[in-house]
Chains A and B, each alone.
Chain A
Amino acid sequence: MIKTKYQRLTKRYLTEQIMLMVMRLAALAILSVLAFILYTIAAKGLKSLSWEMVSSLPEGGYYLGGSGGIANAIIGSLLMISGSAIIAILISLPIAFCINFILKKGGWFGNIARFSMDILFGIPSIVYGAFGFLIMVWLGLQASLLGGIIAVAFLILPIMVRAIDEVLIMVPSDLKESLQSLGATRYEMMKVILKSILPGVGSAIMLAIGRGIGDAATVLFTAGYTDSIPTSVNDPAATLPLAIFFQLSSPMEEVQNRAYAAALILTIIVLIISLSTRQLTRRIK
């Protein structure tokens, strides 16, 4: 009797130990996948990464292995994401504040607005790209920096709204109440609250930039591709994700190697953004 009870106990204990082991392995597997990805990109990219890659424009015969770099794509990406981030923040701040401070708490419109933002967040970037292209054709626009900026702004808008919304939910109601009792109008109250959540807004912007800068499907039809740096918003613009994508599909090995270097550059940019977003969020908490 005692023995069977003991056996049962060891069996339960063993199950736990085995499952714990399996779970540790699962966690370790995820960790190794990340390490493997980063290692692959770094190892391949470092070989062909050079100052020329980062600083010069593609020269004649670049796509056949000629000399030059991808400065056009780096600058194109940076221009595009700055434009999109500015547009998106100008739209997402009013939306997030409206949901939290103007609309009735738990009211139907607030719920619908939050719901739409969550759904928009789930819509794949290719749909934004196709939709953006349709609008551009309709307006008679060519594939251009402006087109890319607008399509990427669509893509990152819901990310920003959700992130700012999360910060606003945590604003203590004391602050709101004391402002109101001092006689502030809702607009004045929101201005003060905006100042108090600026770091949160910063991390929302960073999060959105990190997502937007690496997305290829939105800019595939809307931004075009060019070897020069755009001088106006109506010029087409090269972007890093597309630079990687196009160079990788080349049959020439030298061009492919440059795709790996470009991939490393993009990864480094995204990692820096991701890590600093994390630091920023930690400081807020």
Chain B
Amino acid sequence: MLITRKLKDTIATRLMVIITSGAVLFFVAIGLVLLVKGLPVIKSHSLTELLTTSNWKPMKGQFGFLTFIVSTLLVTLLALILSFPLALLSSIYLSEFSSQKIKKFFMPVIDLLSGIPPVIYGVWGTLTLVPFIADTLAPHFVDFSTGYSLLAGGIVLAVMILPLMISIFLEVMESTPQDLREASLSLGATRWETTTKVVLKRSTSGILAGVVLAISRAFGETIAVMMVCGNFTAMPKSLFDACYPLPALIANNYGEMMSMPDYESALMLAGFILFVIIIVFNTVSWFILKRIKRSL
């Protein structure tokens, strides 16, 4: 009896350790497979050529990623500029100023925003932002815009990364000990002064971690951005021009290119670039957030 129980225990625990190791290896495997698939195109074209030229003519064997990389960076930057102030201000409000009642009402709102699928954001963008930009906004600045633009992509992405930032900001700010707030208030500081000089000062690294995480989420977002950004292979010259981020490039062309090994390899390389950038960003924010949790 004891022996069977012991045996069961040993088998079960061993099996669980194996599954866990498998999951860790899985993450390495994704990177390796993408890299191996991406290597042929690095061999036939140098990495500098791939990353610094913007000629994208797969049929002629030219694979310059620059347009796509610049598009990805611009869309992400725009999303961050639009959503960071909103996220920071509303997190401060919810963490330091609002009543419990308002907060209780607001948390489900953030949950819902983070739960809405990307494709729904895309539909919303095409229905509202695209026509608004094409008909109302763009004519003031440029001659012609279809509305499917850098700006539309940036706005959609901004809304999508809001809930992620808010939830991290809130967690970080709320980890500030109440004693510190009270000490500051009792010295005669107003609540706003307490917020900026005590809470925000203490939360700077955590806020940074949240931003980094939001950037990496924005880099990888595919469907929603692809639906509103135009997907046109040319360097965007204004906010109202179409752009073509890396994930959209993969989504639009993958599956059709199996007959051309270099083309497939180039798209896999794009996937690998995304993978590496996101791992680096996630790792940075992981260590910052871990240090904050440990100091509690």
The interface of chain A, by Cβ under 8 A from chain B, is 12-13, 15-16, 19-20, 22-24, 26-27, 29-31, 33-34, 36-37, 40-41, 44, 91, 94-95, 97-99, 102-103, 109, 112-113, 115-120, 122-127, 129-131, 133-135, 137, 154, 157, 161, 185-188, 190, 210-211, 213-217, 220-221, 241, 244-245, 248, 259-260, 263, 266-267, 270-271, 273-275, 278
Contacts and interface: CB of A to CB of B under 8 A. Distances in A.
Interface residues of B: mostly helix, strand, loop or mixed?
Answer: helix
Interface stretch (B171-179, B189-197, B234-242): B189-197
B200 to A, nearest CB: 12
Contacts, number: 243
A134 B37 contact: yes
28 contacts: A26-B86, A26-B93, A27-B93, A34-B109, A37-B120, A37-B121, A40-B127, A41-B124, A120-B23, A122-B217, A122-B220, A123-B275, A127-B30, A129-B251, A130-B268, A130-B271, A157-B23, A185-B6, A186-B13, A187-B8, A188-B9, A214-B118, A217-B222, A220-B254, A244-B123, A260-B127, A270-B116, A278-B111
A95 B120 contact: no
A36 B128 CA distance: 10
B16 A95 contact: yes
A274 B111 contact: yes
B90 interface: yes
B17 interface: yes
Given A185-B9, A216-B118, A16 B191 contact: yes
Contacts of B12: 186-187, 190
Interface in B92-114: 92-94, 97-98, 106, 108-113
A20 B192 contact: yes
Contacts of A125: 220, 222
A97 B279 CA distance: 25
Chain B interface category by residue count: 35 or more
A91 B23 contact: yes
B24 A112 contact: yes
Contact of A259 (B34, B123, B222, B286): B123
B191 A44 contact: no
Interface residues of A: mostly helix, strand, loop or mixed?
Answer: helix
A267 B17 CA distance: 38
A132 to B, nearest CB: 10
Nearest to B11: A187
B169 to A, nearest CB: 12
Contacts of B267: 130
Given A131-B34, A137-B258, A271-B115, 10 more contacts: A24-B93, A31-B106, A41-B120, A94-B15, A109-B20, A120-B27, A134-B33, A134-B268, A214-B117, A245-B122
B247 interface: yes
Interface string B255-267: 1001000000001
Contact of B279 (A119, A154, A186, A241): A119
Contacts of A98: 13, 16-17, 19-20
A23 B97 contact: yes
A23 B278 contact: no
A123 B274 CA distance: 9
Contacts of A241: 117-119, 223
A116 B127 CA distance: 38
A61 B282 CA distance: 47
A185 B115 contact: no
Contact of A113 (B20, B123, B128, B250): B20
Contacts of A259: 123
Contacts of A267: 116-117, 120
Contact of A91 (B6, B19, B122, B227): B19
A115 B110 CA distance: 25
Nearest to B275: A127
Nearest to A157: B23
B89 interface: yes
